[in-house]
Structures are given as structure tokens and as C-alpha cells.
Amino acid sequence: MPKLVQYRHRCIGCAVCCAMQPRYWRMSRKDGKATLLNADLKKSVYVLGVSNQVAEEMVEVAEACPVRIIKIF
Amino acid sequence: MPELLSPVGSFESLRAAIDGGADAIYFGTEQLNMRAKSINSFSLEEMEAVAQICKTHGVSAYLTLNTVMYDHDMQLIKTVLRRVKECGVDAVIASDFAVMERCREMQIPLHISTQANVSNVETVRFFAQFADVIVLARELSLRQIDHIAREIKRQDIRGVSGERMRLEVFVHGALCMAVSGKCYLSLHEQNASANRGACTQNCRRPYAVRDLETGNELVVDNEYIMSPKDLCTLSFLDEVIRSGADVLKIEGRGKSADYVYTTTQCYRQAIDAVASGTFAADKVKGWMEELSKVYHRGFWEGYYLGRKLGAWTTSPGSAALERKVYVGKGSNYFSKIAVAEFEIEAGALAKGDTIMVIGRNTGVLKLSLEEMVVNGEYASSARKGDLLTLPIGRKVLKTDKLYKLVTNDA
């Protein structure tokens, strides 16, 4: 299963991921960074298992992130 | 005389700004500032250290909180402003009314960012209910600045603190083609919002104009049609000061410590020369030579002299006459004899080379290798794996970097 990974500590809160895929991303009102919904925190990175179709949809989001902290493995 | 305000994006640059003679520095933390994407950024935790170092050296510290703000940012704004209060940062630079209102409530001194595009005295009067300093729009001429400054005095416009409103202008550094930095190009091209601190500098690339019907490309005399040269007011700094600007700002939080050091030092000396009546062409020539050595895209005078925007870059990246080549890092420091040891990790050094040490404690040190001690013995060269020792008065840390300065042929 493909994995969606976010290096959240480097997020600058530009909100592009949330604008493109609001079902998966929320802007945190606590610290202004993007939160990957339902993701597990593993060694300071957030990881979410996704279907192949979602992984494909997220490619656009990963490319749009200006600080390149969203990866798909 | 006006205050000299320098950009700081790292502890190395902070040291460089202080050594260069800045009266004040401005910096950002992680998000909500126009250089958020820059790798050079402080964390919220580091704000205290920045403020403390500034206090120790009698330098004012201003925090930039100047992006477009969204609803989800409100809590973060509060958190950042609470840190500003706790750490004793001297003022916040902002353009969003949510930040202005919050600063007023929390009694935090506020400077209105250039993002607010303040271009007339009525707007200065409006912002006086929130702020004490206005960073004027970069598009004004000196005549317009002079008029605003005179009107502030004549109308006795006072800011929140009760003091007369002060005007800040950019004197040096990158300009962009957008009005007061309000640019949509990065967002349009790459979904990266410049107004959230994620500018991808699309304007700095070469572009072609093509006729879609015929496929023919128009011949343009310069492909860098959206990339203005950098602002440099040094040659007429006396006029800038006479116009009534109270704060002179250097752009470049994303730039390296040697840029911060050189630009700060040149403008410090120029301001002091204006103050003592010794500002003259021969001195300007010397300063311009120094400024040409560090990062720049070529220079022009900005809009201050009333000229149209007509100076464009002709090549990508920096036109600096010198460039740094990484050679090694600090490996030890012998405090009793004030000698630093560097491990050479790349390239080679020879007697007569000019080197630069950059570090959070050393700042920016430029040295000429007159005498070399390599692996404990006098030598005329050093290469990868060697240990080079140098007498340096300031403690060199393991994070210090050693560079060789070479002429930039590119």
C-alpha cells in the first residue's frame, strides 16, 4: 500500500495542500501548519497508508508544496 | 541620523549585522513571514536568544509577521506575539489588520510593513493609531518621501507611543516587479504563494515571447523581462537621508552572512560619513567596490530618483565579483592561545589565498593566508584531510565554515 508522508515540522502553513485536497488535509488552528488527517506519527514524520488512486491524486499536492515536505512512497 | 536596519536569517548573519554596525535587525520565525520558505529561519524557541544577543549589543530587534493571514493563523499569531512579549523583542513588522489589532491590545510596538503599500500622508495618519514606524512603499520617489516627512512634522502626526511617526525606506537589496511585493506569479505558476512567504522567484528566469499562430519568437533585447536589478542607494545616500527617512533598511533575510556584513558595514560608514560631512565620491567608489563583491543582480537606483523601471538583470543569479568556495569546517579552538583549527574537507588552500570564516560566534572574518600552519608545521599549502591552524581572536565552533574567496568568472 502506498504511503503518504509529511515532514510536518518544516510546514510553513501556506495551505495549498488543504486547498487542493481538503478531505485529507486541515489547517491546524493551534499552530497554523497543515495536518494530514488520520496519519500516524512515526519518528517525527506523519505517515498515512493510502490507496493507489489517492496516491496518484496526491502527486499534484506533493509537487505543489513549496517546501517539498509531502512525499509519496 | 537615521537608524540602520539589517536583515538577519541566521545566528551567523546576526553576528555579521552587529559587527557591521547595524542599529537594529529584523528577523522571522518559521511561518507567517515573507521569507518562510527560506532555509534561513529561526524557530520560536530561538527568539529569546536573538533578542538576548541584540540586547547585549545595544541593537534593536524587530520580528517580521508580515504575510497574508488566514483564520487558522489566529492562534499562532497569539502564540508568536506572546513570545515577542516574553523575549522583549522591540517591535513587530506587519501588514495584516489582525496582527495590528492584536499588537495594540497587547501593547506591542508595531511597524507597518511595506506590504501595506503606504504611499501618502493620509495613510500614515490612519496607521498612526496602530504603529510608530511606517515602512514606505518601495515605489515612491525621494520627493514624495520628503513631502510625507514634512507633513508628518507639520501636522505633528504621532504614533501609539506618543512619539512622532517615523518613516522607514529600503536602501539596498532585491527588488521585485510586483507592487510592494504583492505578487501572484509563484502562485499562478507553481501554486506557491509569495504572500505566504513561499516565493519561488519565477520572475528571475528568462522568458520568451512567442506568436502562437506562426510559432515565431519575438526578438527581445533581454530575456529577463521580469527581473529588476537590485536596489542600491549608496551613491545618493545623502539625498535619501535629507528626504527625512528615519530608518534605512537593507533587504536580504534569505542571504548569507557575508552579504549582511558587507552591506551593513558599507551603509554604516556611509551614514557616518553623511553625519560628519565627509560623504564624497571617492568614498562612494570604495563602498561600491565592496558591495559588488557580495551577492547582487547588478545595481540600479530604484524609483527614488523618479526614473522608470528600466534596469533589468541580464543573467541568472548573482553578479558578485567574488564567490565563496567551501573548503572546510572548524574542528577545534585553543582558547588560551586564541588559535583555531580547521579541517580541510574539499579543495585546497595555498599561501596568499584570501579566506573567509563564517560562524555564529565569529560572524564573518575575511583573512589573507600570509602564513600557514598545516598539521602542526609551517607549510605553503593545505589539501583535503589536512588540519589548518590560524590565530583567530573569537572562539571558532565546530559549526563554523571555512571558505576560499575566488574571483567570480561566471
Question: Residue B263 is part of a domain; what is its CATH number?
Answer: 3.20.20.70
To the nearest whole number, what is the mean pLDDT of chain A?
A: 91
Q: What percent of chain B has pLDDT over 70?
A: 95
- Tally the domains of chain B: 2
B78 in the same domain as B147:
yes
Can you tell me the distance from the alpha carbon of B148 to that of B127, in angstroms, rounded to the nearest whole number? 14
Q: pLDDT per residue over A1-12, tens digit each? A: 899 999 999 898
Same domain? B337 vs B282: no
* ipTM metric: 0.73
Is the residue at B28 inside a domain?
A: yes
Q: Model confidence at B218, in pLDDT bands (50, 70, 90)?
A: confident
Residues B280, B372, single domain; the answer is no
CB distance from A22 to chain B under 8 Å?
A: no
Q: How confident is the model at residue B310 (pLDDT cuts 50, 70, 90)?
A: low
Single out the residue of B18, B23, B35 nearest to residue B261, CA to CA. B18
Encode pLDDT of B110-163 as tens digits: 999 999 999 999 999 999 999 999 999 988 999 999 999 999 999 999 999 999
* B273 CA: distance to closest CA in chain A (Å): 41
Report the residue of B185, B190, B191, B201 to disrupt the A interface, i.e. the one with the largest count of A CBs within 10 Å: B191
The verdict on residue B167 lying in a domain is yes
What CATH number is associated with residue B329?
Answer: 2.40.30.10
Asked if residue B366 and residue B277 are part of one domain, the reply reads no
Looking at the structure, do residues B291 and B387 belong to the same domain, yes or no?
no
Q: Are residues B263 and B333 both part of a single domain?
A: no
Q: How confident is the model at residue B408 (pLDDT cuts 50, 70, 90)?
A: confident
Question: Do B295 and B327 reside in the same domain of the chain?
Answer: no
Q: Which domain holds residue A66?
A: 3-72
Candidate from B159-173, B174-188, B229-243, B380-394 with smallest mean pLDDT: B174-188
* Domain span holding position B260: 3-171+231-300
- State the pLDDT at residue A16: 86
Residue B160 CB coordination number (10 Å)? 18
Q: How confident is the model at residue A64 (pLDDT cuts 50, 70, 90)?
A: confident
**CATH assignment at residue A34:** 3.30.70.20
User: Does residue B157 share a domain with residue B102?
Assistant: yes
Lowest mean pLDDT segment, chosen from B41-45, B189-193, B372-376: B189-193
Q: Are B26 and B293 in contact (CB under 8 A)?
A: no
Structural domains in chain A (count) = 1
Are B295 and B381 contained in the same domain? no
Best-predicted range by mean pLDDT (B153-167, B197-211, B298-312): B153-167
Whole-number pLDDT of residue B185: 79
Report the predicted TM-score, pTM, of the whole model to 2 decimal places. 0.85
Q: In what order do the strands lie in the sheet with B354-359?
A: B363-368, B354-359, B401-407, B322-334, B339-344, B387-391, B372-374, B377-379
pLDDT confidence of residue B305: 84
Same domain, B34 and B129: yes
**B380 found inside a domain:** yes
Which string of b and e fits B90-116 if b means at least 16 CB within 10 Å?
A: bbbbbbbeebbebbeeeebbbbbbbbb
Look at residue B223 and tell me if it is in a domain. Answer: no
Q: Is residue B241 part of a domain?
A: yes
Contact A29 B196 (CB under 8 A): no
Contact yes or no for B193 and A14 at CB 8 A: yes
